[in-house]
Amino acid sequence: MTETAPITVPITEEDSVRAAAALSARNRLVIMLLLVSTFVVILNETIMGVAIPHLMKDLHISASAAQWLTTAVMLTMAVVIPITGFLLQRFHTRPIFITAMTLFSIGTLLAALAPDFEVLLAARIVQACGTAIMIPLLFTTVMTLVPEETRGRTIGNISIVISVAPAIGPTISGIILDQLNWRWMFILVLPIALAALILGAFRVQNITEPRVTPIDVLSVVLSAFGFGGLVYGLSNLGTPGGGITQVSGWMPLAVGAVALALFIYRQLRLQRRDVALLDLRTFRSKNFSYAIIMISVSMVALFGTIILLPFYTQRVLGLDVLSTGLLLLPGGLLMGLLAPLVGRFYDSHGTRPLIIPGAIIVSAVLWSLTFLGEHTSFWWVLVAHMSLSFGLALLFTPLFTAGLAALEPGLYSHGSAIVGTIQQVAGAAGTALFITVMMAGSTPLLEKGVSSEAATAAGIHNAFIYGAVISLLAIPVSFFVRKPVSSLEGAPTAH
C-alpha cells in the first residue's frame, strides 16, 4: 500500500497580511484591556485621600488610623511589585492577569461591604496586591508586543494611566462624596473591574514563554523589609507627629535601608546564575539609570504637589472638597490629552525636544509655587497646576519608553518591576517630604498665635522650596537621556 503524500496549501501574500492583521488586532485588544484595568486599579490608589473625614466620622476612627487606608496600599505595592519581575518570567500572561484582577475585584467588593475599619483596611491590602501586579504586567506586555518604531505612542497611553489616574483621583472622589456615601467609591468601580476580568479571561492571550526558575525566599524577605521599611518610614514622616525625631519615623527607615543594602548584595550574587528575584543588570544601561533618576524626581514633584495643593485650597483659600477636585481636574485632563501626542512626537523626534523643556517647566512651576501666600488668587493655583501637568506630560512618556527600550528583551519584566517600585518609593518620599516640611514650618507659627491660614501658607511655601531645589537635579540629567537606536537600523541598543 503506497503512502499518500501530504497535501500542502501554498501560503499567499494575502494570507500573510490577514494573519498579521489578526495578530495586530489581538495585540491591540490585549493592550487595551490592560490599559483600562490598570487605570482602574491605579485610580483606586489615590481615591481615598479626600474621603478621610467621612471615614473618621462613619467608622469612628482617628485621622492617623484613617491615613493607613492610603499608607497600606503604598506599603503593599512596595512589597509586591519587586516580586513581579520573577512572576512575569515564571508564569503565563493570562493567569497573571486573571489573578491580579480577581484580587482587585475581591478587595473592591469587600471594601464596599466593609462593616468596620479592620475589614476595610484588609480589603485595601487585597486591592493593592492586584494593583502591584498590573503595572509591571502592562509595561512588559507593551515592550514585548509593540514594534520599536511605535512604542512611543503606545507608552503615551500608559502615561495617561500612570499620571492621570492619581491626578484625577481626588476629583472623582470629591464628586462622589458630594452626593453619595463613601462606599460608592467602591461600588461604582466594581462593575468595571468585573467586566475587565471577565473579558480578559476570554481574550487575553499568553504572549511570553515562561521558564522554570526557583524563587529565592531570602530575597523576598529582604525585599519586603527593604522597600516596605522605606515606604512605611517615609509615610510616617509624612503624618502629623511622625517627624524624623520620632522612633516611628527613623526606625523603619533604618531597617529598610539595611535590608535594601542586603537585598542588593543578594541580587548581585544571584544574577550571576540568572536567578535573581529582581535583576539589577538593568542598571548597566546608562539610559535606563538616567531615566530612573528623572522618574524619581518627577514622582516626588507629582505626589508632593497632589498632597499639598488640596491642603492649600481647603485650609488657606477656604474651598470645599468638590471645588478642590474640580480645580485639579483641568491639569489631569491636559496630561491625558497630551500623552498620545507626546508619544507620537517621541517616535519621530526622540527624547531631547521633550525631556529638556519638560524638566525646565516642572522646576519653574515648583519655584513659582513658592510664592503661594495667604491671599494668592485661585487662578494662580489653576494655571500653576496646569503648567506642572504640561511639564510632566512631556517627561513621562519619553522616560518610560527610552528607559525600558534600552534594555535587552530578557530584562523587560525586571525593568518594569523597578519602574513600578521606584514610583511607589518616590511617591511616598514626595508625600513625606512635602508634608513634613509643611508641618515643621506651620506648627511653630501656630504656637505663636499666628492664624491657621497664614501658618499653613508659610509651611507650604517652605515645602515647595525643598521640592523646587530637588527639581533642579532633573535638568542636567535630562541632557543624557537618549532615544535608543532601533535594532531595525542595524545598530545595537543604546546603553
Choose the weakest-confidence range: 25-29, 230-234, 333-337: 25-29
Choose the weakest-confidence range: 147-156, 368-377, 400-409: 147-156
* pTM, full prediction: 0.77
End-to-end Cα spacing for the chain: 63
Query: Mean pLDDT over all residues of the chain?
Result: 80
What confidence tens digit (pLDDT) does each residue in 99-128 have?
A: 999 999 999 999 999 988 889 999 999 998
Model confidence at 457: pLDDT above 50:
yes
What pLDDT was estimated at residue 68? 76
* Mean pLDDT value across residues 388-408: 88
CB 205 within 8 A of CB 94: yes
The three-state DSSP-derived secondary structure of the chain is: CCCCCCCCCCCCHHHHHHHHHHHHHHHHHHHHHHHHHHHHHHHHHHCCHHHHHHHHHHHCCCHHHHHHHHHHHHHHHHHHHHHHHHHHHHCCHHHHHHHHHHHHHHHHHHHHHCCCHHHHHHHHHHHHHHHHHHHHHHHHHHHHHCCHHHHHHHHHHHHHHHHHHHHHHHHHHHHHHHHCCCCHHHHCCHHHHHHHHHHHHHHCCCCCCCCCCCCCHHHHHHHHHHHHHHHHHHHHHCCCCCCCCCHHHHHHHHHHHHHHHHHHHHHHHHHHHCCCCCCHHHHHCHHHHHHHHHHHHHHHHHHHHHHHHHHHHHHCCCCCHHHHHHHHHHHHHHHHHHHHHHHHHHHHHCCHHHHHHHHHHHHHHHHHHCCCCCCCCHHHHHHHHHHHHHHHHHHHHHHHHHHHHCCCHHHHHHHHHHHHHHHHHHHHHHHHHHHHHHHHHHHHHHHCCCCHHHHHHHHHHHHHHHHHHHHCCHHHHHCCCCCCCCHHHCCCCCC
Angstrom distances, CA of residue 447 to CA of 47, 285, 315, 430, 450:
33, 51, 17, 26, 7
Most confident of 11-20, 127-136, 354-363, 430-439: 354-363
What pLDDT was estimated at residue 194? 92
Phi/psi for 3 (5° steps) reads -85, 130
What confidence tens digit (pLDDT) does each residue in 120-134 have?
A: 999 999 998 988 888
* Mean pLDDT value across residues 16-36: 65
Of 307 and 248, more confident = 307
CA-to-CA distance for 178 and 183, rounded, in angstroms? 13
Q: Is residue 490 very low, low, confident or very high in pLDDT (cuts 50, 70, 90)? A: very low
Residue carrying C-alpha cell 485632563: 333
Of 55 and 206, more confident = 55
Count the alpha carbons within 13 Å of 416 in the hemisphere toward its beta carbon.
29
Domain 22-485 annotated CATH 3.40.50.720? no
Of 308 and 127, more confident = 127
What pLDDT was estimated at residue 207? 67
Of 332 and 13, more confident = 332
What pLDDT was estimated at residue 239? 56
* Mean pLDDT value across residues 206-216: 72
Most confident of 123-127, 155-159, 166-170, 439-443: 123-127
What pLDDT was estimated at residue 494? 41
The residues, ordered by sequence, that sit 6+ positions from 14 with a Cβ below 8 Å of its Cβ are none
Residue carrying C-alpha cell 487606608: 69
What confidence tens digit (pLDDT) does each residue in 236-245 have?
A: 665 555 444 4
What pLDDT was estimated at residue 102? 94
What pLDDT was estimated at residue 49? 66
What pLDDT was estimated at residue 249? 59
Count the alpha carbons within 13 Å of 140 in the hemisphere toward its beta carbon.
31
What pLDDT was estimated at residue 108? 93
Q: Is residue 429 very low, low, confident or very high in pLDDT (cuts 50, 70, 90)? A: confident
What pLDDT was estimated at residue 16? 41
What pLDDT was estimated at residue 244? 44
Model confidence at 434: pLDDT above 90:
no
